Amino acid sequence: MSLSYVVKEGFAGFKRARLASFTSIFSLFIAVLLLGVLARISYNVYEVAESLKKSIDVEVFLKELDQRTTNELEAKLKKQDIVQEVNYISKDSAAAIFKKEFGSGSSSLAKLDFLPASFRLKMKPQTGIKKVDTLVNEIRSYRGVDEVKFNQDLLQLIETRFKTVATIGGGVGILILLASMILVFNTIRLTIYAKRKLIKAMKLVGATNAFIRRPFVVEGVIQGVIAGVLSVGVMYLAFHFLLPQYVPQFGILEWPFGRWYYLCGGMLLLSVFMGFMGSQWAARRFIKKTSISN
């Protein structure tokens, strides 16, 4: 079978079921566009959550310790797998930080020397709250540790909210994908039904199911390409030019992996894949039925 025949028959399917083809393309376009918007917003929610998690430090306040014990404790903290960085804050440094944050009027308080020395721990990226909580409980038992400060409630809230957003977004995305594939499936089914007599004639002269199926699969791929190009164009124009003019906050949203073409390329490939799968599904099912009917 020549490639030109396959492509020609693929485009011919649009004429046989124009309304169904338009509905399928429009549905794919909306689905891929919504998934692209969802992906971009979800990526930015993830970035915000990660930046907030990075700003949450564990502070280990120390009792009055000699230099040797302090060094031993610092080495012990640095050996922890989830700890990325350990910063020692002496009593003098703590007083300087206190004066900087609370103004010159706090100088007399800082001279009272009531601020303890401490270690500030920075956790490695992607560290879960359970691991941090376990480490905090372990550090509390170390000799020379007076108190461990850790904003567990905030970190727990961030993780819970992100999981909720990811779960809802994933569920909505799956529903959109299934609905779009079903629409492509129905479009190809209508095209096959319109050509049922020709398909039967082709079967009688020895044409195989694979031979008959290819133009319909190409039709689905063409639908995916058209819908993908439209969705990418609208996505890029909306987030790059239109929305920032009216809502400046949209201008600060980052593209996944820092470049627009990663997300747009993914949207186009997804649209083509959905068109291919929907048409393949319909062609395999209904061409076989047509070949044994009437």
Residue 294 is predicted with a pLDDT of 46
Specify the pLDDT at position 98: 62
Same domain, 116 and 138: yes
Compute the distance between CA of residue 23 and CA of residue 191 in angstroms, rounded to an integer: 13
Give the three-state DSSP class for 75. helix
The verdict on 268 and 179 lying in the same domain is yes
* Domain range for 288: 3-51+157-292
The residue among 150, 184, 218 that closes a domain is 150
What is the pTM assigned to this prediction? Answer: 0.63
The CATH number of whichever domain residue 125 belongs to comes to 3.30.70.3040
Q: Do 178 and 226 share a domain, yes or no?
A: yes
Q: Based on the domain organization, do 77 and 162 belong to the same domain?
A: no
Please count the CA atoms within 13 angstroms of the CA of 177 that sit on its side-chain side. Answer: 17
Tokens representing 42?
Answer: 């979800």
Give the sign of the dihedral formed by CA 276, CA 278, CA 281, CA 284. Answer: negative
Helical packing angle, 209-237 and 196-204, nearest 10°: 140
Cβ neighbours of residue 221 closer than 8 Å, sequence gap 6 or more: 10, 272, 275, 276, 279
146 and 215 in one domain?
Answer: no
Q: Are residues 102 and 126 in the same domain?
A: yes
Domain boundary among 86, 117, 150: 150
Quick one: 41 and 162 in the same domain?
yes
- 86, 48 Cβ separation under 8 angstroms: no
Task: Specify whether 173 is located in the same domain as 132.
Answer: no
- pLDDT at residue 128, as a whole number: 73
**Phi/psi of residue 64, each to 5°?**
-70, 110
**How far is the C-alpha of 256 from the C-alpha of 263, rounded, in Å?**
6
Q: Which one, of 164, 161, 78, 178, lies nearest residue 119 by Cα?
A: 78
Same domain, 61 and 20: no
The secondary structure element, H or E, covering residue 114 is: none
List all residues 6 or more positions away from 37 whose beta carbon is below 8 Å from its beta carbon. Answer: 235
CA gap 230, 219 in Å, rounded: 17
**Predicted pLDDT at 54:** 65
pLDDT, averaged in runs of 10, over the chain (294 residues): 66 69 81 85 77 73 85 88 86 68 52 72 78 85 86 69 78 80 76 74 76 80 90 87 74 75 88 85 74 47
Rounded CA separation 235/98 (Å): 48
Q: Are 283 and 182 contained in the same domain?
A: yes
One domain, residues 20 and 43: yes
3-state secondary structure of 61: strand
Q: Give the whole-angstrom CA distance, residue 174 versus residue 232.
A: 19
Q: What's the number of domains the chain is made of?
A: 2
- Rounded to whole angstroms, how far apart are CA atoms 135 and 241? 47
